[in-house]
Amino acid sequence: MAIRVLLVDDQPLLRTGFRMILEAEHDVAVVGEAGDGLQALDQVRALQPDVVLMDIRMPRMDGVEATRQITGGPANDGPAKVLVLTTFDLDEYVVEALRAGASGFLLKDAPAEELVQAIRVVAAGEAMLAPSVTRRLLDMYAGRLPSGEESVPNALRTLTEREVEVLRLVARGLSNAEIAADLFVSETTVKTHVGHVLTKLELRDRVQAAVFAYESGLVRPGG
């Protein structure tokens, strides 16, 4: 079955461009459009998309609040995932959208193939964590954290030493294959460790795990 996508952006021309790209793919179907967060909530309820391509800055309700309501509120009775759109200068609200439950983010000027791949990844239940952009984004966020030596959060004490190591690498934006190569283990082993980390920390996906690592002080800018 085709991946059902809802386009949410206050610029009609951008929505048209995204629609043209996605409708050229045999496994993707654009089921609707919305020009702001409130319209997005209505469309999610009515259309039950698999993936919501979500802009951040919009009138009436921004993408952060819309994401929060779609992923954790009554607007989403189904498995809709949110893929956040951002500009090249890394919108300061993107971190909040990730914390609100977005499964990842994508640059608005990303190549067409990257947009399609991101939607497929998110629809499959994975997180879209582009390493180069993610490191810049999370470094920006982590720069606001206290610089002193804080104690390890209690939640991290539930992790094994290897799980903490894996979490650090996830926060750096590495894929399972890259982590496996770095630790000299199999991808299956890495996947198991990541699953344990998410379960123990009660996190949704790799994106929230990465944000948690920075919030907790486990990973520092440039770390």
* Three-state secondary-structure class, residue 202: coil
Residue 186 in this model has a pLDDT that exceeds 80: yes
What separation in angstroms does the CA of 217 have from each of 86, 142, 150, 211? Answer: 25, 8, 7, 10
- Residue 147's pLDDT is what? 46
Least confident of 20-34, 64-78, 94-108: 64-78
- Residue 148's pLDDT is what? 44
- Residue 7's pLDDT is what? 97
Per-residue pLDDT band at 3 (split at 50, 70, 90): very high
pLDDT digits (tens, 9 = 90+) for 90-99: 666 777 777 7
Identify whether the C-beta of residue 174 lies closer than 8 Å to the C-beta of residue 187. Answer: no
Residue 40 in this model has a pLDDT that exceeds 80: yes
Residue range 73-100: average pLDDT? 71
β pairing state of 51-54 and 3-8: parallel
- Residue 73's pLDDT is what? 57
Identify whether the C-beta of residue 61 lies closer than 8 Å to the C-beta of residue 35. Answer: no
Radius of gyration (Cα) for the chain, nearest Å?
17
Query: CB within 8 A of 197, min separation 6: which ones?
Result: 159, 163, 166, 167, 170, 203, 209
Per-residue pLDDT band at 29 (split at 50, 70, 90): very high
pLDDT digits (tens, 9 = 90+) for 111-156: 899 899 889 988 887 777 655 556 666 666 555 544 444 555 677 8
The overall average pLDDT reported for the chain is 82
* Three-state secondary-structure class, residue 48: coil
